[in-house]
Structure 1
Amino acid sequence: MLGIVIGIVAGVSALAFYFTLKLMEHLFLGLIVGASVPEPVGEGGSLSSGFRAVRYWLIPVSTTLGGLLSGLIVYTWAPEAEGHGTDAAINAYHRLQGRIRRRIPPIKLVASAITIGSGGSAGREGPTAQLSAGIGSAIADLLKLSPDDRRRAVAVGIGAGIGSIFKAPIGGAILAAEVLYMRDIEAEVLFPALVASAVGYSIFGSVVGFTPIFGYYTGIFNPARLPLYAVLGVIDGLFAVLYVKTFYAIHDAFKRWRISNYAKPVVGGLLAGVIGLMAPEVLGTSYGWVNLAEFERLSLFTSPMLPLIALLVALPFLKVLATSFTIGSGGSGGVFAPGIVIGALVGLDVGLLFHYLLPSLVPDVAPFVIVSMLALFGAAA
């Protein structure tokens, strides 16, 4: 029963976050920059539309303003809502008996929507996880559950939030049980998390659609490519290390910097916006670019400063930097989704290389984009 209740509230909360994010994207990137950002096919996106902007030079203004507003909201009312949110939810599970302040969910929702909607490089899964974890904690308090049950409610909320917003209920449930420990799994939350994720996914999908975010791939599996996937896996593992090390190096540098916490997301937003000037593909969630990479719509990848080949090679590194500046500075948003996007961009580069070397074995890059998404995300998470 608890899983059903948490799932219902998590699904509704995921919808609230999704549409708030769309509103902020319209207000910031739409009205300030005059930009149109590619959307994934599972959310109505087209494979023929890239990034277009009327006032291209205002990208840093949008991301800086987003950092300013997000920082004001977070550090005034709920400092726990800074960053990607997953660590805060896990900390509440292990050290606070599952207690999460009531104000955290709404603050996280608004601050993350502003950060991402203004063009900050971040994901929406981490915020949804903290949002739903806070809801699970509140429901447990309302029902006067024991500390152990409250902790489980927080874990179930994490799974329900991720399963809903990612349209992956099974994955959300497994992640909820696994993400709490480095080398263990919380088996007791698996079943209620699966129930909550399924309920939340049903509610979320009934409004925005049940098509997977990145659509479907119908290609035929070719076992002859397995050695190539092994090479890709090694590259993804190394890139995952680079992503994690870079993120925490920048995060720690901002923590040590003796300026006001309110100013740090402003600086991070400005730096991310400067990168966005060079490569608008890094702005926001970048989900739409995953599909364009998968189907090799290379003509839609553009940069005013870099030729196409240099842009494709640089994009994974630029996405790492933009995400690290956005979230590491204290901006509110997730780090899971950028890992998926970075993996897709690495897969595009490696797939193109193998395509030119072995065109008969690798006729298209789609399998490499998909495999790389999963490999890099799994390694980094």
Structure 2
Amino acid sequence: MNNTSRIKKNYQFIKFQKLVIVSVLIGFLSAFLGVALKKITEYYEEIFFHKATVNPLFFVIFPIFGLSVIYFLREYLFRKKENKGIKEIFESTNSKSKNLPNYKIPSHFINGLLTVIFGGSTGIEVSTVVASATIGSVAQRKQNVFKQYKTELICAGIAAGITALFSSPVAGIFFALEVISRKVTRAFLISNLIAVTVAFGLISLLDEKPLFALTITTWHLKAIPYFILLGILAGLNSVYLTRCVLFFKSQFSKIETHYYKIIIGSVILTVSLLLFPQLYGEGYHALKTLFNPTNEIPLTLSLALTYVGIIVLKPIVTSATLASGGDGGVFAPSLFIGAFLGLLVASTLNTFFNVNVIPLNFMVIGMAAVLSASIHAPFTAIFLVCGLTNDYTLFLPILMVCLISKYTAKIIYPYNVYTYTPSLTK
């Protein structure tokens, strides 16, 4: 009896040791992939966007060239398989036999990069998530002892990837929990905590700075009713984004010749970019300009029309990008829409109602609110945006508004782009 107990104890200890080691490796590789993709994308996106602003002809050339290259790579290098984004992860975690194939790492890395730098109006977040999930999936398949930890190790890769992108280990864990796993086990806590710790250690070693350098001073209780209004509007906008993505994917799926999809998507992108260059790529370059304090100016009719045009067009160009073969998801578009929505609401209140709210606060809260409603993950959105800005001053209003926006969206439309399947509505 004692020998049996000792053998079991030793086996459990060895299994724990292996889980720790593999979690460290997953954390490092996923974080390294995330940092590399972010750095390369930022570098080339800035160069190509500058070229296009100097010569608008590139707004015509870049989208069709980028989408064509992605199609060529998919046809001749990546097994003619379309990237389905986070739904690929669900298919893997919900099946004992189905795994994320190894080629998903280079496929999402390369296609995500090409999509954004050539003007596709999405982001690299979902590309990073699927690629880092595949790292966890590959590790899980290497030894029989890890087969029971399939979901946990996939989540560890995802959590580390999110940590690398947004400098927020808490957001990484919450995203893996709220969106992918939806349950906490001991193995989940061990593997994910180790992976995000390693990831955060790597980005600290590399001295990665927050994406947005902001100074948030305070917020006032009198702004709470307006925060609630922002939460409701964010929920409505997220439903619009979700429905746009689903509608475009449905309509484009009826087109049999893929190059027609590329042409239609490119035309939509080109026209939109010529009207509003801020829609190019992730749009973070536009947000950095938006966060400049000099933007606190009275709302004119032309400025209001610009904000409204951007908010209305962003879901359309994002949907066209994804439906015509681009790689990405709704992370960056949600943050982008939320910032412009927050600025529009604050500017309207200040200009026409003399409320004197702080536009910067509304932009930051708007980012979190639209993201929360778009992916139905309020705690991910809270810690992700706080990590982006490296500031927790607005934690309480962000918490309140994220919950309002999520439940507003769920009441209007119970699905998001990850959970919707056509069979659910029949």
TM-score (norm 2): 0.76
Aligned to 2:142: 142
Change (3 A) 1:187 1:311: farther
Amino acid at match of 2:234: D
Distance 1:163 1:81, change over 3 A: farther
TM-superposed CA distance for 1:125, in Å, is 1.0
Range with bigger deviation, 1-10 or 87-96: 87-96
Read off the aligned partner of 1:313 and give its amino acid letter.
Answer: V
Max Rg structure? 2
CA distance in 2, matches of 1:78, 1:166: 31
Using the TM superposition, give the Cα deviation of residue 121 of structure 1 relative to its aligned residue in structure 2, in angstroms.
0.6
1:299 CA drift (Å): 10
Q: Aligned partners of 1:192 and 1:95: how far apart in 2? A: 20
Which stretch shows the higher mean deviation, 158-167 or 106-115? 158-167
User: What residue identity is the alignment partner of 2:360?
Assistant: A
Give the whole-Å Cα distance in 2 for the aligned partners of 1:147 and 1:278: 51
Task: Give the Cα separation in 2 of the matches to 1:71 and 1:25.
Answer: 20
Report the structure, 1 or 2, having the larger helix content.
2
Deviation of 1:191 after TM superposition, in Å, equals 4.3
1:93 aligns to 2:93 (yes or no):
yes
Separation (CA, whole Å) in 2 of partners of 1:18 and 1:145? 33
Q: Which has the higher contact order (CA 8 A, sep 6+)?
A: 1
Structure 2: where are the runs of 5+ without partners? 1-19, 376-426
2:293, 2:316 → 1: CA distance? 24
- The separation in 1 between residues aligned to 2:267 and 2:199, in whole angstroms, is 35
Match of 1:49 in 2: none
Report if aligned partners of 2:216, 2:360 keep a CA contact under 8 Å in 1: no
TM-score (norm 1): 0.85
Match of 2:369 among 348, 370, 375: 375
Q: Alpha carbons of 1:95 and 1:4: their partners in 2 closer, same or farther (altered >3 Å)? A: same
Tell me what 1:235 maps to: 233
The structural deviation recorded for 1:190 is 4.0
Aligned counterpart, 1:154: 154
Aligned to 1:195: 194
Q: Relative to 1, partners in 2 of residues 1:151 and 1:338: Cα closer, same or farther, differing over 3 Å?
A: same
Structure 2 residue identity aligned to 1:312 = Y
Q: Aligned equivalents of 2:290 and 2:47: distance in 1?
A: 27
Shift of 1:62: 0.5
- Please state if 1:308 is matched with 2:306: no
Q: Kindly report the root-mean-square deviation, in angstroms, between the aligned alpha carbons of the 2 structures.
A: 2.4
Say whether residues 1:114 and 2:108 are aligned partners: no
Give aligned-pair identity as a percent.
23
Q: How many residues align?
A: 350
| Structure 1 residue corresponding to 2:323, chosen from 314, 324, 328 | 328
- Residue 225 of structure 1, CA deviation: 0.5
Output the CA distance in 2 between the equivalents of 1:27 and 1:237: 34
Any stretches of 5+ residues in structure 1 without a counterpart?
Answer: 36-52, 301-305
What is the CA distance between 1:252 and its match in structure 2?
A: 1.1
Inter-partner Cα distance in structure 2 for 1:8 and 1:62: 33
Residue equivalent to 2:15: none
Look up the equivalent residue of 2:120 and give its one-letter code: G
In structure 1, what residue type is equivalent to 2:70?
S
| AA at the equivalent of 1:193 | N
User: In the TM superposition, what is the alpha-carbon distance from 1:216 to its structure 2 partner?
Assistant: 3.3
Contact 1:104-1:131 within 8 A present in 2 as well? yes
